[in-house]
Copies of this chain bind each other. A is one copy, B any other.
Amino acid sequence: MVKIAIDAMGGDHAPLAVVRGAEAAAAVGAGKLVLVGDENAIGPLLRNRSGIEIVHAPDVVDMKESPSNALRRKKDSSIARAFSLLKSGDVDAVVSAGNSGAFLAFAIFTLGRIPGVERPAILTIHPNVKGTKSILLDAGGTVDCRPSHLVQFAIMGDVFAKHALGVEAPRVGVLSNGEEETKGNELTRETHALLSGAGLNYTGCLEGTDLYNGMADVVVTDGFVGNVVLKVSEGLAEAIIGILKEKMGGSARAKLGYLLLSPVFRSLARMVDYSEYGGAPLVGVDGVCIICHGKSNERAIKNAIMQAKGFVGTNVNGHIKDAMREFASLMKYKEL
Which positions in A face B, CB cutoff 8 Å?
A: 64, 66, 127-129, 140, 143-144, 175-178, 180, 182-186, 207-213, 221, 223-225, 227-240, 242-244, 247-248, 250, 253-254, 256-261, 263-264, 267-268, 271-272
Contacts and interface: CB of A to CB of B under 8 A. Distances in A.
Contact of A238 (B129, B180, B257): B129
Contact of A225 (B129, B225, B247): B225
A177 B143 contact: yes
User: In this complex, which of A66, A236, A268 has the most chain B Cβ atoms within 10 angstroms of its Cβ?
Assistant: A236
Contacts of A127: 239
Nearest to A227: B177
A151 B176 CA distance: 23
A208 B224 contact: no
B224 A185 contact: yes
A244 B185 CA distance: 35
B223 A177 contact: yes
A261 B271 contact: no
Given A186-B144, A223-B177, A247-B264, A212 B228 contact: no
Given A177-B224, A208-B228, A182 B235 contact: no
| Interface SS majority for chain A | helix
B208 A230 contact: yes
Nearest to A229: B232
Contact of A208 (B178, B234, B263): B234
A232 B212 contact: yes
Given A225-B228, A260-B257, A236 B233 contact: yes
25 contacts: A129-B242, A143-B185, A175-B228, A177-B228, A178-B227, A208-B230, A208-B232, A208-B233, A208-B235, A209-B238, A213-B235, A225-B225, A228-B229, A229-B232, A240-B272, A243-B268, A243-B271, A247-B264, A248-B264, A254-B261, A256-B260, A257-B257, A257-B258, A257-B264, A261-B261
A51 to B, nearest CB: 36
B212 A236 contact: yes
Contacts of A230: 208
B250 A264 contact: yes
B244 A268 contact: yes
Contacts of A250: 264
Contact of A128 (B144, B229, B239, B272): B239
